Amino acid sequence: MSSKLQSAMESLIQVFHKYSSKEGDKHKLSNVEMKSLLQDELREFLAVSQDPMFVEKLMNDLDENHDGEVDFKEFVVLVATLTVACNNFFVGQTKG
């Protein structure tokens, strides 16, 4: 039986490849695949932004090697950043 952390890692990998395999390079997320992933998996985070160019700006920020796509390493940076932000929010809520 996997630990919670192992299960979380497996889930990250599965979610990434579920979307990255839809078109083009099966090991990278295109703009369309990233938008689909965000809408399906992180809808609440996407809803926070009222900017219609949010996904494009996010892609540019994540696309470290400037190839127009997001690879798994770049995707993990997004998830880690969001996780840290959530942790900071909840820690802040419990103080006081």
DSSP one-letter string for 16-81: HHHHHTTSS-TTEE-HHHHHHHHHHH-HHHHHH---TTHHHHHHHHH-TT-SSSEEHHHHHHHHHH
CATH number (3.30.530.20, 1.10.10.10, 3.30.429.10, 1.10.238.10) of 30-96 reads 1.10.238.10
**pLDDT tens series, the chain, 96 aa:** 689 999 999 999 999 999 999 998 999 999 899 889 988 998 887 777 677 777 778 878 888 888 889 999 999 998 998 888 888 877 777 765
Residue 85: predicted pLDDT: 82
User: How far, in Å, are 21, 33, 65, 66 from residue 18 at the CA level?
Assistant: 6, 9, 22, 23
Residue 72: predicted pLDDT: 96
Residue 13: predicted pLDDT: 97
- Which residue ranges make up each domain of the chain? 30-96
Largest Cα separation within the chain, whole Å, is 49
